[in-house]
Amino acid sequence: MHKNFKRIAIIGKYMNQSALQQMQADLADLARHLTAKNIEVWLEENTAQHAELTGYKTAPLEAIGNKVDLAIVMGGDGTMLSVARTIMNAEIPLVGINRGRFGFLTDLRAEDMLAALDRILAGDYQKESRMLLSASIHRARKLVYQGFALNDVVVKSGLRLIELQVEIDGKFVYKQRGDGLILTTPTGTTAYSLSAGGPILHPNLEAIALVPISPHTLTNRPITVNSASKIEVTLVQVDEAQVSFDGQFQIALEAGDKILITRAPKIITLLHPGEYCYFDMLRNKLNWG
């Protein structure tokens, strides 16, 4: 069902001042274009400040999702990942304009963004739900951190191999020595997981993939399980290791730490132009024939 978007947030690469200055003209064009359509425009406060855009309502990223019914994110996939995690509780759809490199998540081109957005605002769009992961770190039976990831949760060594034990739904799966383990959503299978030899999972699959990073035993292969699974990773032997969330936030780990990974209760909703095709996107981004 087509939703009539009346209040729209614009979020640029909000933590990078130089990037915002470089995309200033595009951000200004976008804000003016939406305003001319009688849409109430909100700017993320860092975006407004560093792109020198005045005359619009502003709010910090943590609050802006509760003030609008659609957010447009201009930047790369990293910006989209950060925005999605931060405003996921607002449960608003996101549209991505690519000003990065790959653009697996930010699929609108800056050159024709206004025409593409007009089609989306007119109801010519595809709505897509993306699952997230929730990961909690337990040390000596105490919760020390909980975070969320749209792409992946990665347990990774420092200088030396680490040994991990993996259990799924209370069942022992294996012990693994290597550089670490990637636990990825279907969205994340075109990110770090892909370079580690993991499978590409279509976004509409309800699944989590476990992809070893440089395993000492070559028979340790990727495993894909249902998204309802409860996965427990225990650090058996480690000199130095960390767990990261979408590659953007890291927590140091110790021997004996347990990481519980489950599907998060929230989802992220992406809007694509009506002609969007996931396989066309893969073929173009990965240079398939």
Q: Among all residues, which ones are annotated catalytic?
A: 77
Residues 12, 2: Cα–Cα separation, whole Å: 25
Q: What angle do CA 46, 47, 49 make, to 5 degrees?
A: 60
> What does the H/E/C string look like for the chain?
CCCCCCEEEEECCCCCHHHHHHCHHHHHHHHHHHHHCCCEEEEEHHHHHHCCCCCCEEECHHHHHHHCCEEEEEECHHHHHHHHHHCHHHCCCEEEEECCCCCCCCCEEHHHHHHHHHHHHCCCEEEEEEEEEEEEEEECCEEEEEEEECCEEEEEECCCCEEEEEEECCEEEEEEEECEEEEECCHHHHCHHHHCCCCCCCCCCCEEEEEEECCCCCCCCCEEEECCCCEEEEEEECCCEEEEECCCEEEEECCCCEEEEEEEEEEEEEEEECCCCHHHHHHHHCCCC
Distance CA 215, CA 196 (A): 10
Task: Decide if 204 contacts 235 (C-beta within 8 A).
Answer: no
| Angle 75-72-282 from CA coordinates, rounded to 5° | 60
